[in-house]
Amino acid sequence: MDLSGPWRVAASTEDLRRSFTDESFDDSGWEPAMVPGHWRSVPTLSDSDGPVLYRKRFTTRSPTPSRRFFLIFDGLFYQGSVWMDGHYLGDTEGYFYPHSFEITQQLAAGDEHLLALEVSCSPPTDWTAKRNVTGVFQHSPYIDPAWNPGGIWGRVHIDETGPLRIVSLKVLCQEANSDRATLDLEAEVDSLGPLGATLRTRVSRTNLLPPATREQPAGSGPNTAAALTGETVRKSEHNLSAGTNRLRWTVAVESPDLWWPRALGNQPLYGVDVDAAITDATPPADGPTPADGPTPADNSAVSDRRQVVTGLRQSRLRSFVTTLNGERMYLKGVNCAPTRRDIATATPAEVVRDVRLASEAGFDLMRLDGHIARPELYAEADRLGMLIWQDLPLKWGYAAIRRRAATEARRAVRVLGHHPSIVAWCAHNEAFRVDSAPSDFQRRQTPLRSAATSVRPDWDAALLDRTLRRALESEDGTRAVIGRSGALPHPGGATDSHLFFGWSYGDAAGLAGLISRLPIAGRFVGAFGAQSVPDSADFMDPRGWPDLDWDGLAAHFGMDTQTFQERLPPSHFATFDEWRAASQRLQANLLRYQIETLRRLKYRPSGGFCVSMLADAQPAVSFSLFDHNRLPKSAYRAVRAACAPLIVCADRLSATYSPGDRVSLSVHAVNDMRRPVERATVEAVIRYPGGERRWRFEGEVPADSCVLIAKPSFALPQSTAPGRLVVELALGWVGGRASNRYLASVNM
């Protein structure tokens, strides 16, 4: 039974809390609210921080004897207290996983029922020591800090089982190659009493055939309908005690079709079905009676079933270099905010679209920054071969949440562990303490200050991150676990780097300079970029240019007004459109140059990168490539070109040259494909006022490599007039062509 749809809601008061659970209570004056949803969608609660009371009346048939019934909340922000027919069922905490309560007795008592909840999602009182494990939904530069995500954001339903219930099913691919794959399974089974049970596990190819990919390395296996006939079945017998039983077993799949990232091969998927059946239904002397327990008719009948869809693959991460099924891979990634800040109203099509936008931009990896996403995102990533770096919903400072957060970490693995797209867990993103003031969370730390922050004693953060890392590693030994992200690597810990050269500090070329002096900082640059003004900018009220509401844009729309004043002073632009275009050019040029820089350092030392960021969760002035309406900024085209599988590029030119100056190029070709490019030709042209110079080179670009083609150089003639200097690069091979272009000026 689905209990989604219209409910009744009201702001919680002391008087209402005492009486709203009574079946006789009159809620006809309460506001209607849709579930799934957020309470701020209700006009009278549009600025409420809760708590909020929810009520729902419904009718059921008399339950069948020996059947059990469970009330399930698929998603609830963030804490809830639940009553049914005036009886207290329990409380909940945690937004991204289901909460369930057995209601068999309540349903047996009658046909008319009342469900009542008090839901709370309190805003932090101390932003540097938060208590709610809600990640970016309550504290981030992506979402208005005044927003409250509270509400029943997932489906509410009643499920029916027999005496055995599979509460959760965790499926992990322990190892995989072309000969054999091993799945580790763990089920939490709730039994009505001491029973014998048979678990039947069936692993078979699904018919969810993904689109064909460009390449398929040896051993990836077929991706055809003929493979759907393969099936692996395993049965195991268990003696269960009353209550919760945790069962573990393995299933071997012979000659599997391996799952690959989209750049390396195909994405065959397998359905894993687990049935729980009773084999010994004799109740103990003090056990359940036939009226509320198993009867002989239940023998050998399936009591409950669970199914997940997975892929068979093996991933490793060493020094931030990733291998999938033994194939090394350079990761081109993008940081991702939630599809919408009001997660309940994001449609499945909108969630799926974000994965496809990332794929079309040339990315191989989506980093889900500080949040667990909607289920549709993971399913689409599995189908498309998009890899996922999964953060726990922790960002910036927390206090006194160590046990709670460890529980969230373990549940994240149990909910998401079967997805082959997830290649890494990250316990805590940017573990330094940030206040709520916009100026605090917009301003990025310089690399040296970041390193100092990382080594400065913060026992709460250090203990939290160690606890979370241990929890993730104990729950999932098949994936890499990163304890803390966003601090410059230092002797005290290994992490990725967040380096905002050219925006928050320094010049865009500072990224390459830092890595040349400190190579470990370039192992994986997990965040970089620049903010820009979106095309969908009505929320900025551009008619008032240049007197915009700068304080409001900083407080509610993520704008780093201080850096804009330094990099793109509004007083230097006659119109809003000119200013917006300049901001998008700055972002596009910075991302293009820094992506090319990191790709030229492929595996020496760079294992990949994550651009900041894909798309906005709300109207914003941000680091995104797509605005909240999914209109692309200029940076999207620049990033797509820089992330192409094969590129030709050169070192950054100086902004200006004078007659007699030497123009030197360092031309590279970067090949991410699994095959070499033979008989390749590279042409380099430097055009300047009054002349040009040309070079031509021939050779091979090896597979999965970065090669230095040449270092052409020449001095500008003394007679060169002022004007534009253009460098054009072209890489040609049988069946393809890549090009690039750089601009500079010649001054007297």
The reported pLDDT for the residue numbered 182 is 97
Beta strands 422-426 and 480-482 are: parallel
**Can you say how many angstroms the Cα of residue 168 is from the centroid of all Cα atoms in its chain?**
22
CA gap 76, 663 in Å, rounded: 60
Report the share of the chain in percent with pLDDT over 90: 84
- CATH class for the region spanning 5-160: mainly beta
Residue 295 pLDDT: 38
Query: pLDDT tens digit string along 144-182?
Result: 999 999 999 999 999 999 999 999 999 999 999 999 999
User: Phi, psi at residue 461, to the nearest 5°?
Assistant: -65, -40
Work out the pLDDT band at 207, boundaries 50, 70, 90.
low
pLDDT of residue 435: 80
Question: What CATH number does the domain located at 649-746 have?
Answer: 2.60.40.640
Q: pLDDT-derived band of residue 443, with 50, 70 and 90 as boundaries?
A: low
Q: Tell me what the pLDDT averaged over the chain comes to.
A: 91
Kindly report, residue by residue over 607-624, the tens digit of the pLDDT.
Answer: 999 999 999 999 999 999
The residues near 313 (Cβ < 8 Å, ≥ 6 apart) are: 173, 176, 258, 259, 260, 324, 325, 420
Say if residue 78 is preceded by a cis peptide, omega within 30 of 0. Answer: yes
Closest CA to 431 of 455, 447, 411: 455
Superfamily of domain 163-310: Immunoglobulins (2.60.40.10)
What is the band of 453 on the pLDDT scale with cuts at 50, 70, 90? low
Which residues are CB-contacts of 426 (< 8 A; sequence separation ≥ 6)? 367, 389, 390, 391, 392, 481, 482, 485
Residue 573 DSSP one-character state: -
Rounded CA separation 67/295 (Å) = 10
The residue written with tokens 């997932």 in the block is 154
| Residues 232-270: tens digit of each pLDDT | 899 989 999 999 999 999 999 999 999 999 999 999 999
- In CATH terms, the superfamily for domain 330-643 is Glycosidases (3.20.20.80)
Residue 64: which pLDDT band, with cuts at 50, 70 and 90?
A: confident
What type of residue sits at position 325? N
* Cβ neighbourhood burial of 68 (10 Å; 0-12, 13-18, 19+): buried
Residue with the larger pLDDT of the pair 99 and 437:
99
Question: How sure is the predictor about 297, in pLDDT bands with cuts at 50, 70 and 90?
Answer: very low
pLDDT digits (tens, 9 = 90+) for 307-358: 999 999 999 999 899 999 999 999 999 999 999 999 999 999 999 999 999 9
* Residue 241 CA: distances (Å) to CA of 186, 190, 197, 278, 493: 17, 9, 10, 13, 44
Q: Could you tell me the residue ranges of all domains in the chain? A: 5-160, 163-310, 330-643, 649-746
Q: Where are the alpha helices (DSSP H) in 601-683?
A: 634-642
Q: What is the distance between the alpha carbons of residues 597 and 652, in angstroms, rounded to a whole number?
A: 9
Q: What is the pLDDT of residue 214?
A: 35
Least confident of 251-260, 287-296, 459-468: 287-296
Do domains 163-310 and 649-746 share one topology? The answer is yes
